[in-house]
Amino acid sequence: MPTVALLGTGLLGEAIGLRLLAQGVKLHVWNRSAEKCEALLAAGAEPIDHLAGAARSCDTVITVLRDGPVSADVVAALGDLGGACCLPMGTMGISESRELATQVQAQNGCYLEAPVLGSKPEALKGSLLVMAGGDTDVFEAQLPLLQLLSGDPKLMGEVGRGAACKLALNQLIASLTHGYSLALRLVEASGLEVERFMEVLRPSALYAPTVDKKLERMLGHHYADPNFSTALLRKDLQLFLREAPLLGIDASGLNGLLTLLKRAEHTALDDGDYSALHELTSKR
């Protein structure tokens, strides 16, 4: 089994770490807030007290950090990577990922972006959807590790294409959640029972399983214990809107949704499940 350094042990990072430990991986862990490593340390991980030089005894460095700039700063603090592979699993921009690949090469490492779709439950079960970007030989070398986290890790192409896939998917999360929220608001305001509406929606081509996953939260206004927060959804939508013009895409239609999500800042909705977007579509 490989030796892995895991940098970033938030909700998803912790679950990834627990899965790797359960599969026999030797794991070293670091987080800016050290208390977030406690569950992994209790499960058998070793702490990284100082980032400098921490990668030289590892085969792979997995980062699960907030964004591209934070990932670049933390990886830079490692110094010489000693040939280790840097495997960022958080969401970042296409250009950010390509810049990080160049940085990693300068630090004597190899690079494979590997953003994931899924959160804590999927990570613990090893059923994350991995969309990698990088050289084929690097992907093949990391495949046994990725298969501990995903039933079918996919190589999307060169560096940047995995990041593009992840940004596209997260934009769909935002847009679908917004669309379903508006539909539910109209249905309820008209006096139509939501379940009658769902009886028509479920067998139609318009149906997506996410609506049933979030329906109870939306109708019950229950957003605690999130797997993916409103704040992170807003962050990723902002990232999509920043990257889109660089690729010649007019994504201005999403600006209204971003404005809506900004209303959650500095409120309890920001830390809640992203389906809290439903609260923002009410005039009340």
| Residue type present at position 44 | G
Residue 112 confidence (pLDDT) above 70: yes
**Based on the domain organization, do 35 and 141 belong to the same domain?**
yes
| Segment 25-62, tens digit of pLDDT | 999 999 999 999 999 999 999 999 999 999 999 999 99
- The pLDDT, as a whole number, for residue 283 is 80
Q: Which of 125, 159, 193 is where one domain is finished?
A: 159
**Based on the domain organization, do 34 and 154 belong to the same domain?**
yes
Using pLDDT thresholds of 50, 70 and 90, give the confidence band for residue 254: very high
Residue 75 confidence (pLDDT) above 80: yes
The crossing angle, in degrees rounded to 10, of helices 94-106 and 161-190 is: 150
Residue 211 confidence (pLDDT) above 80: yes
What span, in angstroms and rounded, lies between the C-alpha atoms of 5 and 171? 30
Please name which of 109, 2, 7 lies closest in space to residue 48, comparing C-alpha atoms: 7
**Based on the domain organization, do 82 and 206 belong to the same domain?**
no
Using pLDDT thresholds of 50, 70 and 90, give the confidence band for residue 176: very high
Reading the block at residue 77, the tokens are: 């603090």
**Based on the domain organization, do 144 and 180 belong to the same domain?**
no
Residue 139 confidence (pLDDT) above 80: yes
What span, in angstroms and rounded, lies between the C-alpha atoms of 259 and 274? 15
**Based on the domain organization, do 30 and 138 belong to the same domain?**
yes
Average pLDDT in the 222-230 region?
94
Q: In the chain, pLDDT over 90 holds for what percent of residues?
A: 98
**Based on the domain organization, do 177 and 244 belong to the same domain?**
yes
User: Taking the model in full, what pTM does it have?
Assistant: 0.93
Domain interval for residue 129: 3-159
CATH number for the domain that contains residue 233: 1.10.1040.10
Calculate the alpha carbon distances from 245 to 98, 100, 241, 262 in Å. Answer: 17, 21, 7, 21
CATH number for the domain that contains residue 34: 3.40.50.720
In the chain, how many domains are there? 2
**Based on the domain organization, do 141 and 204 belong to the same domain?**
no
**Based on the domain organization, do 208 and 183 belong to the same domain?**
yes
**Based on the domain organization, do 136 and 177 belong to the same domain?**
no
Phi and psi, residue 163, nearest 5°: -60, -40
Q: Which of 131, 159, 187 is where one domain is finished?
A: 159
Calculate the alpha carbon distances from 29 to 21, 39, 65, 221, 245 in Å. Answer: 11, 11, 13, 36, 37
Using pLDDT thresholds of 50, 70 and 90, give the confidence band for residue 1: confident
**Based on the domain organization, do 36 and 151 belong to the same domain?**
yes
Q: Which of 124, 159, 194 is where one domain is finished?
A: 159
Please name which of 165, 161, 270 lies closest in space to residue 226, comparing C-alpha atoms: 270
Contacts 24+ apart (CB under 8 A), 215-218: 215/184, 217/273, 217/275, 217/276, 217/278, 218/180, 218/181, 218/184, 218/275, 218/278
Reading the block at residue 59, the tokens are: 């085969």
**Based on the domain organization, do 173 and 38 belong to the same domain?**
no
Calculate the alpha carbon distances from 256 to 67, 187, 232 in Å. Answer: 23, 22, 17
- The pLDDT, as a whole number, for residue 65 is 96
- The pLDDT, as a whole number, for residue 95 is 94
Using pLDDT thresholds of 50, 70 and 90, give the confidence band for residue 117: very high
- Per-residue burial over 99-117, b if 16 or more Cβ lie within 10 Å, else e, is bbbebbeebebbbbbbbbb
Using pLDDT thresholds of 50, 70 and 90, give the confidence band for residue 284: low
**Based on the domain organization, do 19 and 123 belong to the same domain?**
yes
Average pLDDT, the chain: 96
